[in-house]
Chains A and B, each alone.
Chain A
Amino acid sequence: MFRPLIIIRKIPNIDFMGLHKIGFALSSLLTLGSIVLFLVQGLNYGIDFSGGIIMEARTTQGPANLATMRSKLDGLGIGEVSLQGFGSPDDVLIRVPRQPGNDQAQEKAVETVKAALGDGIDYRRTEVVGPKVGGELVFKGVMATIAALFAIAIYVWFRFEWQFGVGAMLSTLHDTITTVGLFSLLQIEFNLTTLAAILTIAGYSINDTVVIYDRIRETMRKYRTMDFKQLINKSLNETLSRTILTVSTTALAVLSLFFFGGEVLKGFSIAMLWGIVVGTYSSLFIAAPLLYYIRPRGNPDRKAVLTAPGTPQSPPTPTGPGPGAPPAGRSPGIP
């Protein structure tokens, strides 16, 4: 029988509610900034969305010389060809805009590029995507994300109360919008896998929110007369260790994807990492404090007057070592 090396014993006493206005301000800024960035600068859409031609080439003799390759590809009459290193020094990503005309026109452009670059290059991947598919994907992607947000909100509403659903939806919306903002800011390629990451973020970032909401609800039932700000703080502090630990394990998996998963998964891992971090932040500083403003039914401030004598009273300070009082009501099956 061996014991853990690290045990988090102490329950922190962070005044989240005291910081929540800063959090709201920061998040409004981030969200607004993301929207402005998206509108002004837009996204660096990958071929999935923009259409066009992409070729991943690997030089067989020595590292790729982008300048030489670029000069060979200039003036071919196939639009602006862009070259970009891709992982190892041998690998180059060649992007050619979609050619006017039909399939054959695209085909010809691919052949033109291959002919211009000559021998000594291995074409590892070629993708040609028409504009129609890209437009549909943007639409489907936006619809899927909206559907996910609503589905999650509705689920939370069913499991809790509508106020929790609103809080969950707003914080998830915040997470997805700022992820898009990050991609616009850094101009990282936004492709279908990134979109998958955003949907995953929507599903995952809600997890710590649910953990926290669960605790808030439980605490509300236990301490009916506790000040609501105190109650939120207490719930957040009590669940902080698990919030951090669950996020850490997922972050470890995503970090290894970022470092070892190869170039194709870079965008995905960046989006996931951001989503995990911002999702945790928003659970603590947005989702929970929001409840203070849209108070769920049975909230202590309102119920205080109605509380019948004999209901367990809250301890005078919320800084105690966890729930000292025996749990009220909800202890099924425990002898």
Chain B
Amino acid sequence: MLYFQTWKVILILAACALGVIFSAPNLFQAATVASWPSFVPKRQVSLGLDLRGGSHLLLEVDMASVERERLNGLVDEIRGALLDAKLGYTGLAVEGDHVSFSLRDAGDLNALRAALLKLDPDLDVNLAASGVSTVKFTDTAIQARQRSAVDQSIEIVRRRIDETGTKEPTIQREGEDRILVQLPGVENPEHVKELLGRTAKMTFQLVDTDVAPGDARAGNLPPGDELLPSADNRPGGPQFYAVKRRVMVSGDTLTDAQPTFQNGNEPVVSFTFDSTGARRFGDATSSNVGKPFAIVLDNKVISAPVIREPILGGRGVISGNFTVQSASDLALLLRAGALPAPLTVLEERTVGPDLGADSIRAGTTACLVGVALVVVFMIVFYGLFGLFADIALFFNLCLMLATLSFLGATLTLPGIAGIALTMGMAVDANVLIYERIREEVRGGRSMISSLQAGFERAFGTILDSHVTTLVAGILMFFLGSGPVKGFAVTLSIGVLTSLFSAILVTRLQIVTWLRRSKPKEIPI
């Protein structure tokens, strides 16, 4: 006998009711929903950028440059260690993923090794008394550094974007070295891209006044100096400065930076150091009064003012041909901090809000028409039982929307296609059950036993077909970027909810109908 225990009935009805309640907020405007009392579920399906409009940026952290920088630092450290150990060497340079050099004559290699490992325990040191010695970082150290570089980049990107005032940005790690930035409502991401495209590494370095301008231009520099161009685009190319490599103070000691005006209308950036920075800056300026120092941003000299008096208060002003916009951008970048490595834009997708609205309209129409066709089809082919299937289909739709809202999943245009598709696929289970019932009736079984057999026999087949679709959905989820992921999510959720609705909800209706109207035969 087809029979449902009371607790099962209650569970099924409760699930359906929850589905309706949790999907209901999606029928209303977000503003309306917000005004509802707090005990009412309010979560709505969040719309993907292709539906609500906005910008999607896929950034890649330039890991190679992180490593290159570390290796360059390592060269300096090794040079120091070799000097300390009083060992002669030749050809100390970065080569590929390691630093190599040759020792002039064999010395105490073990002591040198210990000295190097003391610099950094994560070194892979390979010394040779004659021939080439190599030093490189261990793979685990490189991996750890890359992980932290990406984490740090995400943090800086978030700070920079927050500073621009973009609402509800999403910033997340994607794969190993990528960052996905989603900016809803941003129609022109140029400014954001410009802000993210700068590392904003700021240093204060002394200008080497002993180098003649001609020597500087010719690249004739004493060791410990570097040649840096000026940041402004003046006609005839940038001016070059010979700057001491040694950093007086670096930008990471800044606690604040604000755009402001100097002399009435010249846009400048004022900054404040933390106590360490203030002390270092004070010391450096005290001992170099009368000399110029360079304010260097991303290896370009913004300005090179002369130190008139020691700057002890830990505050200062950067001037240098700023516009109001560029001054406020620089202040923002300094506040947010420097990126550990440059970012490149791998992918940029921007959708205008009216295209998004059109897509929502098209997707909704397609869904509704699809559902209507399926509903009519089921009634035409199965009469009352078709209606039962249609009612189950309605609950399936509610449950899908409720699950999507509850999980905070993102609905994209392909996601809407997934809903439409699962509507067509959900009734497949009903078709399989009903056809089986028909077959059993034809085979001469009684009404009740046909119904029972129909549900039981069809179940295995239905399960099999659902599992295979779910497999495809899950694989797609791992494959996909934004929109396709949305499709994979709705497809998979739809497959699961339809398993519940098409079997249990339909069956409950049929059982109730049997008990209420005590039919003599099945109307299919």
Contact = CB atoms under 8 A, between A and B. Distances in A.
A249 B465 contact: no
- Please list the 8 inter-chain residue pairs (A to B) with the smallest Cβ-Cβ separation, ordered nearest first: A253-B424, A203-B472, A262-B362, A256-B370, A124-B355, A207-B465, A250-B424, A4-B383
Contact of A125 (B355, B427, B460, B483): B355
B19 to A, nearest CB: 20
Nearest to B55: A126
Contact of A257 (B1, B370, B435, B464): B370
B420 interface: yes
Given A125-B352, A260-B369, A265-B414, A155 B468 contact: yes
B348 A261 contact: no
A174 B478 CA distance: 24
B362 A260 contact: yes
Contacts of B432: 211, 242, 246
20 contacts: A2-B523, A4-B379, A103-B344, A125-B350, A125-B352, A159-B460, A193-B483, A193-B484, A203-B469, A207-B465, A210-B461, A241-B435, A245-B381, A249-B431, A252-B424, A257-B421, A261-B365, A262-B363, A265-B366, A322-B439
B326 interface: no
A195 B487 CA distance: 11
Contact of B476 (A127, A199, A259): A199
A175 interface: no
A152 B471 contact: yes
A44 interface: no
Nearest to A242: B435
A126 B348 CA distance: 8
A253 B374 contact: yes
Nearest to A208: B465
A154 B519 CA distance: 44
B472 A264 contact: no
Nearest to A203: B472
B125 interface: no
Interface of A: 1-7, 48, 56, 102-103, 106-107, 122-130, 132-133, 137, 140-141, 144, 147-148, 151-152, 155-156, 159, 192-193, 195-196, 199-200, 202-204, 206-207, 210-211, 214, 238-239, 241-242, 245-246, 248-257, 259-262, 264-265, 268-269, 272, 321-324, 331-335
Chain B binding surface SS class? helix
Secondary structure at the A interface, as helix, strand, loop or mixed, is helix
A252 B473 contact: no
B380 A126 contact: no
B346 interface: yes
Interface in B378-397: 378-386
A192 B519 CA distance: 51
A250 B349 contact: no
A2 B517 CA distance: 13
Contacts of A207: 428, 465, 468-469
A144 B476 CA distance: 7
Contacts of B382: 4
B472 A261 contact: no
A321 B460 CA distance: 24
Interface stretch (B211-219, B310-318, B448-456): B448-456
A131 to B, nearest CB: 9
A71 B60 CA distance: 36
B421 A144 contact: no
A2 B374 contact: no
Nearest to A244: B431
Given A124-B355, A260-B362, A200 B469 contact: yes
A245 B373 CA distance: 13
A261 B363 contact: yes
Contacts of A155: 464, 467-468, 471
B442 interface: yes
A100 B197 CA distance: 18
A206 B425 CA distance: 13
Interface in B387-440: 413-414, 416-417, 420-421, 423-425, 427-428, 431-432, 435, 439
B377 interface: yes
B480 interface: yes
Contacts of A238: 439
Nearest to A211: B461
Contacts of B1: 335
Identify which of A103, A250, A253, A332 gathers the most chain B CB atoms within 10 Å of its CB.
A253
Contacts of A204: 425, 468-469, 472
Interface string B342-370: 00111111111011001100110111011
Given A2-B523, A127-B350, A264-B413, A251 B424 contact: yes
A211 B435 CA distance: 12
B157 interface: no
